[in-house]
Structure 1
């Protein structure tokens, strides 16, 4: 059997679809191949059965074959093999691979599977020591169940808990690029859960929301609180106004108005309440310490918290789309269930400390925020493994240290801006630009393989494109597998003269972005080539 299957029945209606020079392989029909494999995977010989399962996993990528095999009740046969529990190692791995490939065509509903099958697949995930390939296929099956069936979602949730998944992430194996990307994606999705609160304005008339502000006041000034029935209404209003001023709100009469700005909206109030409840001593110390200073030297806690929350959302890109090529994640955010809130608590204390070090006044508020942003960014660059490490890094980035770093960077920059350097740069720039041009042309001539992503999230198709040696024609075409090395021009069936190219459109401006909502998460990697006569849509991701 060939390594990769693509079945096509040759007849008079499609003979014109076959181009001259195409290499065809005569093989058995999809039905005959499916029938043979259906028999072979039931062989009593383990070696013969293994080879049959390998071929089945390979052939199942083709939808024509998949339809024939499914018509032979092949899915039921595979599930019975899994439920029996008699296959292990490579036999089980290729059985699950074939199952995943067949189900990926969307021919069979996920709701047809039994609880026994779900429990068996879940058992492979729950085992601490399991073959990597089996674990990957099992997770893929459970993911598809969760995504495609609400009923199966609840059944899978009963079998798999977060605690059972964590050990698989704690292995000694170094984090590779794929794992780093997945952790980055998880980080983005986790932070994007904050977007709703970040974009929600506070309703000044909502009593439940106003009670949160009352709670902040109660925790900070508990000894100064008076019963609601004591004194006149005017006296109580005066007392509230005084306390809200001490808390650092801009609107002393109705601080709820401060949270109508989005972003950060209600997320800022959530952070303040978390800080007050979980770091009560630090909260009270900051509020009372600043309320005892002169008005112009106090660091307003309320205003600072709102602006800091907005800044942290910008730094962590809350609400932004993920980048499909990014591997940048911060380990410390996976060490605490409320990592963003704890991150805020550390940073608000840093802000208060930096304010004192700068001897700032109310006019210096924006300057302080700029310094705090720099402190946070420099500490994050060091990729601390825990929030405690992050806090320790900040201790070494005092305002004085930031000034030293800025001075050092300024000196280095001035060296590069000196007249001799500028003259040398101007002299060699044309040569460097020509070198860059040649390198880019050479890379285009070598060509690149792109991975196709279909609406069913399949990623097994490839597409290759390269520039001709005379730089006049783009050769491109589909591939069945990722090539090892360059693909010859002769094997790429389609051509596009460079002279006919009008423009290259990238990202969200691509015409097919309007048609494929599922690809919006990956818009930064999309491109289309626009010719002078029509639009040639190349709906693939850049590698």
Structure 2
């Protein structure tokens, strides 16, 4: 797997309840604050590495279909974002069009990206935390659940903190958290959660992308219910992971659409 390095974050100050559609948010020194905690890669070890001794299980035997699905997903995870690859650049431009259809992007390197919650003017520097699959996750979210995507992007729901989490960087963190939670870097799953997810994946090859959407919406709900601010992001992520694990392990859950948190995507 690729080494995903750490980074710093920028917390975005909420100027209003949410950005109105068609409005443009320009950050200034008075509207952002740099934090010292790492949001990407190894900096998330406190969020993602939550295995407990009681959770330890031997590797599960997989069916040939499950092995194939897992291999395809792991191949996706192995792909780093590379700004020199035209397909990757086009995917990034597509994300902008889905996020801000009313606003033209002036370049793949542009200060406009900060409006989406990237740390700087070049999103490629943030993708080291989740690879190309994290961009694919965001694209899937924007296409499949456009209303929820826009609500989270523009912070349109709930009574929010003055200092909000940056949307895009949070999205990369969610990809990284799910990879670790599901133990997808292992040859075979070593936990009940990972084994159960493979059953979902064997009947729906988009299961990882769908779980990503559920996790993002659940994280935002936890953020609001905890009245969190940017320094509590890791705490919110831990709570989100625990809730996902509990829901996935419910015995009568046979598909991701049966998870209680899936209903959040229709709100």
TM-score by length of 2: 0.64
Deviations 1:30-53 (A, max 9, x none): xxxxxxxxxxxxxxxxxxxxxxxx
User: How far apart, CA to CA, are the structure 2 residues paired with 1:291 and 1:213?
Assistant: 26
| Contact kept in structure 1, 2:83 and 2:124, CA below 8 Å | yes
Q: In the alignment, which residue of structure 1 is the partner of 2:210?
A: 342
Matching residue within 131, 134, 153 for 1:265? 131
What is the deviation of 1:193? 1.8
Matching residue within 170, 185, 188 for 1:322? 188
Matching residue within 40, 58, 70 for 1:191? 70
Q: In the alignment, which residue of structure 1 is the partner of 2:245?
A: 377
User: How far apart, CA to CA, are the structure 1 residues paired with 2:229 and 2:162?
Assistant: 5
User: How far apart, CA to CA, are the structure 1 residues paired with 2:159 and 2:128?
Assistant: 28
Asked which structure has the greater CA Rg, the reply is 1
The question of 1:247 aligning with 2:113 is answered no
User: How far apart, CA to CA, are the structure 2 residues paired with 1:247 and 1:291?
Assistant: 17
Q: In the alignment, which residue of structure 2 is the partner of 1:388?
A: 257
User: How far apart, CA to CA, are the structure 2 residues paired with 1:376 and 1:191?
Assistant: 20
What is the deviation of 1:333? 3.4
User: How far apart, CA to CA, are the structure 1 residues paired with 2:137 and 2:100?
Assistant: 19
Assess, with a 3 A threshold, how the Cα gap between structure 1 residues 209 and 290 changes in structure 2: closer, same or farther.
Answer: farther
Assess, with a 3 A threshold, how the Cα gap between structure 1 residues 189 and 241 changes in structure 2: closer, same or farther.
Answer: same
| Contact kept in structure 1, 2:152 and 2:220, CA below 8 Å | yes
Deviations 1:492-532 (A, max 9, x none): xxxxxxxxxxxxxxxxxxxxxxxxxxxxxxxxxxxxxxxxx
Q: In the alignment, which residue of structure 1 is the partner of 2:89?
A: 210
What is the deviation of 1:270? 1.0
Deviations 1:264-289 (A, max 9, x none): 31111111111111222221121112
Q: In the alignment, which residue of structure 1 is the partner of 2:154?
A: 288
The question of 1:366 aligning with 2:234 is answered yes
What is the deviation of 1:311? 1.3
Matched positions, count: 201
What is the deviation of 1:336? 2.4
Assess, with a 3 A threshold, how the Cα gap between structure 1 residues 216 and 328 changes in structure 2: closer, same or farther.
Answer: closer
| Contact kept in structure 2, 1:248 and 1:302, CA below 8 Å | yes
What is the deviation of 1:253? 0.6
User: How far apart, CA to CA, are the structure 2 residues paired with 1:323 and 1:222?
Assistant: 40
Q: In the alignment, which residue of structure 2 is the partner of 1:201?
A: 80
Task: Note the aligned Cα RMSD (angstroms).
Answer: 3.4
| Contact kept in structure 2, 1:220 and 1:284, CA below 8 Å | yes
Q: In the alignment, which residue of structure 1 is the partner of 2:222?
A: 354
Task: Flag structure 2 segments of 5+ consecutive residues without an equivalent.
Answer: 1-59
Assess, with a 3 A threshold, how the Cα gap between structure 1 residues 281 and 393 changes in structure 2: closer, same or farther.
Answer: closer
Q: In the alignment, which residue of structure 2 is the partner of 1:305?
A: 171
Q: In the alignment, which residue of structure 1 is the partner of 2:13?
A: none
Assess, with a 3 A threshold, how the Cα gap between structure 1 residues 201 and 318 changes in structure 2: closer, same or farther.
Answer: same
User: How far apart, CA to CA, are the structure 2 residues paired with 1:192 and 1:270?
Assistant: 17
What is the deviation of 1:187? 3.4
Task: Flag structure 1 segments of 5+ consecutive residues without an equivalent.
Answer: 1-179, 229-235, 396-543
User: How far apart, CA to CA, are the structure 2 residues paired with 1:272 and 1:393?
Assistant: 17
Assess, with a 3 A threshold, how the Cα gap between structure 1 residues 343 and 245 changes in structure 2: closer, same or farther.
Answer: same
| Contact kept in structure 2, 1:290 and 1:299, CA below 8 Å | no
Deviations 1:450-483 (A, max 9, x none): xxxxxxxxxxxxxxxxxxxxxxxxxxxxxxxxxx
User: How far apart, CA to CA, are the structure 2 residues paired with 1:206 and 1:270?
Assistant: 15
| Contact kept in structure 1, 2:214 and 2:262, CA below 8 Å | no
| Contact kept in structure 1, 2:111 and 2:121, CA below 8 Å | yes
Q: In the alignment, which residue of structure 2 is the partner of 1:222?
A: 101
Q: In the alignment, which residue of structure 1 is the partner of 2:51?
A: none
| Contact kept in structure 1, 2:189 and 2:195, CA below 8 Å | no
Q: In the alignment, which residue of structure 2 is the partner of 1:488?
A: none
User: How far apart, CA to CA, are the structure 2 residues paired with 1:240 and 1:291?
Assistant: 28
User: How far apart, CA to CA, are the structure 1 residues paired with 2:214 and 2:224?
Assistant: 16
User: How far apart, CA to CA, are the structure 2 residues paired with 1:293 and 1:222?
Assistant: 26
| Contact kept in structure 1, 2:160 and 2:227, CA below 8 Å | no
- Bigger RCO of structures 1 and 2 (CA < 8 A, at least 6 apart): 2
User: How far apart, CA to CA, are the structure 2 residues paired with 1:328 and 1:207?
Assistant: 36
- Greater helix proportion: 1
1:434-445 matched pairs, under 5 angstroms = none
What is the deviation of 1:296? 5.1
User: How far apart, CA to CA, are the structure 2 residues paired with 1:386 and 1:191?
Assistant: 16
